[in-house]
Chains A and B, each alone.
Chain A
Amino acid sequence: MKSIETVPQNYILKQLPKATAFVDKNYSIVDASDSWLHLFNFKWEDLSGKSILNVFTDHEQLTKTKLKEYLDSNKRKKIQHVQVTKEDETWYESILTPWFDEKENVVGTILQSENISKRIEKELELKRTKILLKAKSEVAKVGSWEYDLISQKLSWCDQTKKIHEVPKSFVPTVSQGIDFYKQGYSRNKVSMLFHKILEDGTPYSQRLIIITAKGEEKWVEAGGKAMKKNGEIVKIIGTFQDINDQVIAEKKTKESEQLLSTLIDNLPINVYIKDKESRKLLVNKTECEYIGTNAKNLIGKSDFDLYDKKIAQISRDEDLEVMRSLKPMVGVETINIKKDGSSTNFLTSKIPLINSNGEAYGLIGMSMDITHIKEKEDELRNLINITAIQNKKLTNFAHIVSHNLRSHTANFSMLLDFLIHEKEEKEKDRIMTMLTHASDNLLDTLENLNDVVAISTNVNIDKKPLNLKESILKVQQNLAAFLEKNKVEFVNHVPNKLSVLSVPAYLESIVLNLVTNAVKYSNPKRNPLITLRAKKQDNSVVLSVEDNGLGIDLNKYGGKIFGMYKTFHNKKDARGLGLYIIKNQIEAMGGSITVNSEVGKGTTFNVYFNEEDK
């Protein structure tokens, strides 16, 4: 029995730099280089004469049967095999070559092995990178291109072709590539850049427009970089990115931003944005014009810096409430008073600005100047009031007129009817006299009505300051004969320097009527005593005319005393018009008249002249 002995390594083989092992036809390891032993971490003592089939037990691709098969085939073979341990895996490549003797007989197999783990790793890495790049370029729509200066060939990657909307089979030339750029700026620019990079290698990155093969206009970002070899430019590589969506979105954003800012700036409404402390962050043109300064001076200012303190506090309270409740304040009428005291009516809305946490970080305010509208509204309301009063007066007046005119026409009608049927001459004369009377009465009435109309329609009256005492004296002089005849004692207690705002003719009419009334309705048992007094009271001057005459039963006639054609005494010259006229005159000037009276004692009329010139 042949004992297994360790055959020493052949010294030459031992030193082979390439890891090599020799296996005979019985699969026994005959010899191996140190490098081979080292590669697999073997010891010669453990391997010498052993079967190779038992050596690679932990190599997946080199099971006993497989290895046996390889060795038996007697053909050159390249096998990649991996040794898997707990922590690691190591890749190897072994080349199996038949081993010939001098007579070209196969005597075994030569095994040359190599650790290829690093290579495999790199291959994997490259594969991964390529996949990643492809995915990335697809997602980002970034393509690439390459121009070889030596072969003068341009190549595009699939993504670049996709952006150009050309088939994958398309092979571009430089001039074709440039022709894809839109005529004009884009094409000129890219030609220039490409020329420049070829000349001195200046890299570029530019946003330009291409027209794709399908005729679509597209924004792209084209970039190029020169690759040098021995100082010479040999290659240009570049990127080609579809940025159409991005550019269009940017353009749109820019446009809408521009639109918005133009809109806000030119709105005829004060627009402002305030922060939590009610300081202005943004103001539009109208707001600047209202405050009378530019936006730079307004930013950071609060209402307290700009407006009356009280008003600023109201505004601040509104701001706080809007930011606290997160509820907009819409269309509230506000008044703003600037530090110089000028006030403006606004229709104000305040809308809270809410961050992603649902908290207010400020507000947008919009205020429309409605001062004008407000004034118009007040004016209108005033006019409506005046109109309503005038209307009531007119209706009343119309009834009076129609009644008065009707009573005369009724008389005419009746008398004429009599006249037609009357046969007696004497009676006819009587009727004729009556008709003449009726005619005179009608004329009188018309004249009276004329006086009344003259006041009622006189809306725009011209009031002047008049010395009251002098005006009364003038009336007194005009009435001198009348007063003397009636033995009137006339007492004028009006202060010398007191003036009233009145239409001169009206003041005369008022004094004249009140004085003549006092005389007309004087008590036959005593001489008339007329006392005039006047004083300032609030916004009025009060003129009182007191008499010691018959007096009027105000319980009975109080409501009618200033009515038209109302007389309360059996006096022949009572026309029942004087008080009606002066009441209208006084009211036309914004004043009023009152009466106190006691039957048998006398009457006092108080005239209130409105001293507010309106």
Chain B
Amino acid sequence: MKKINSLYIIDDDPIAIFGIKKMLKLKVECNDIKAFENGKMALDDLKGRIEYGDGIPEVIFLDINMPIMDGWEFLEELLNLNIEEKVIINVITSSIDPSDYQKWNHFRLNSIHHLNFRNKPIYKIEVTDVSLAS
């Protein structure tokens, strides 16, 4: 079991959140799993953590299509925060629009964080989704 201090799930679909949480139970030991229904809520929480010196989430599961603030906007904002710790960000989408993959690649090449791209449906959490390659 991989031990993780804190983890974010950002998705407007409660079923998706349920699924990710369920799958994580098999792979990860984490007492701080937080779910947000859009990017804005997650960003606000993240900013709060930085302000109060709480730990940055080590792993983020990020949906793309969300109201208020979508996954890309969240990523943009996240990069602007200049977080020094390397975060594993799993972009999870049901989109098959090639432009989404290109966008992901653009972010991957332009950030220090570790970005994965996963198409829904997902049936299990891979080791690479929760740990940095050695």
Contact = CB atoms under 8 A, between A and B. Distances in A.
Which of A402, A410, A438 has the most chain B CB within a 10 Å cutoff?
A410
A413 interface: yes
A258 interface: no
A414 B68 contact: no
Contacts of B16: 407, 410-411, 414
Interface in B61-91: 65, 67-68, 73
Interface stretch (A64-72, A223-231, A335-343, A564-572): A564-572
Contact of B65 (A410, A565, A569): A565
B120 interface: yes
A415 interface: yes
A434 interface: yes
B65 A438 contact: no
B97 A418 contact: no
Interface string A394-429: 000001001100110111111101100000000000
A403 B65 CA distance: 9
A328 interface: no
B58 to A, nearest CB: 24
B67 A567 contact: yes
Which of B14, B18, B121 has the most chain A CB within a 10 Å cutoff?
B121
A437 B17 CA distance: 14
B94 A414 contact: no
Contact of A414 (B65, B67, B123): B123
Contacts of A211: none
A37 interface: no
A413 B121 contact: yes
Contacts of B38: 570
B22 interface: yes
A399 B64 CA distance: 14
Interface residues of B, number: 21
B55 interface: no
A574 interface: yes
B45 interface: no
A269 B68 CA distance: 65
Contact of B95 (A399, A414, A565, A566): A399
B94 A403 contact: yes
Contacts of B14: 437
Contacts of B96: 399, 402-403, 406
Interface string B12-23: 011110110010
A585 B58 CA distance: 46
B67 A410 contact: no
Contacts of B121: 409-414, 417
A590 interface: no
A411 B16 CA distance: 7
A580 to B, nearest CB: 13
Interface in A556-614: 556, 565-570, 574, 576
A173 B122 CA distance: 120
Contact of B67 (A415, A418, A566): A566
Contacts of A417: 121, 123
Contact of B19 (A411, A570, A576): A411
A556 B22 CA distance: 34
A403 B95 contact: yes
A107 B121 CA distance: 164
Given A565-B65, A566-B67, A567-B68, A415 B15 contact: yes
Interface of A: 399, 402-403, 406-407, 409-415, 417-418, 434, 437-438, 556, 565-570, 574, 576
Given A410-B16, A411-B16, A414-B15, 10 more contacts: A403-B65, A403-B96, A407-B13, A411-B19, A414-B16, A565-B65, A567-B68, A568-B68, A569-B68, A570-B38
Closest 4 CB pairs of A and B: A410-B120, A410-B121, A567-B67, A407-B94
30 contacts: A399-B95, A399-B97, A402-B95, A402-B96, A403-B95, A403-B96, A403-B97, A406-B94, A407-B13, A407-B16, A407-B94, A409-B121, A410-B121, A411-B15, A413-B121, A413-B123, A414-B120, A414-B123, A417-B121, A418-B19, A418-B22, A434-B15, A437-B14, A437-B15, A567-B68, A568-B68, A569-B67, A570-B37, A574-B67, A576-B67
